[in-house]
Amino acid sequence: MKGQSLLRPSQWEFNRIGFTEEEKQFFYEVWETDSWKGPVKRYVFSEPWRFVLRVRPNIIDKVKRRDETIEKRLQEIYNYLRRNNYQRRLDKLLRGYCYNGWKGFEDPREKHPFKDRSFHQILHEIDAGLL
C-alpha cells in the first residue's frame, strides 16, 4: 500500500491557494529536485501530526435511471440520420465541422449551387432571372 502524505505545494500552487498570513506561518520552505524542472521550492506543513489521513472508498452507488422509451426514440433518430447521410450535415450545423477524415467529402444531395461555375456565369444567370 502506498504511504500517504500531506500536499507539498510548489511556490506557484502555494500562491494560488490563497492562504492568509496566519495560515502561511504553518509552512516552511524546502528545496526539492524535480526530475522535469530541476530544483523546485516547495512548502511543507510544519505540524503534520494535527491531521489524520484516511481512505474513503470510491464506489459508484448511484446510477441514473434510464427511460426505455426515450432511449428507443433517440436510437430511431440516430438510425434515421445515419441511414440518410444526415449525420455529417448535423455535425456541420451543430459543431461547424464534420468527422470525415482529412478529405472534405460532401453529399451529392447537398451540392453548393455556385460550385464549379465562374463568377461571370453566375452574374449572367442572375441578370437573366434564372437564379
- Reduced to 3 states (helix: H, G, I; strand: E, B; else coil), residue 85 is coil
- Torsion over CA: 77, 83, 87, 89 (sign): negative
How would residue 109 be classed by pLDDT, with cut points 50, 70 and 90?
A: low
For residue 28, the model assigns a pLDDT of 93
In terms of Cα–Cα distance, which of 100, 70, 105 is closest to 78? 70
- Mean pLDDT, rounded, of the chain: 82
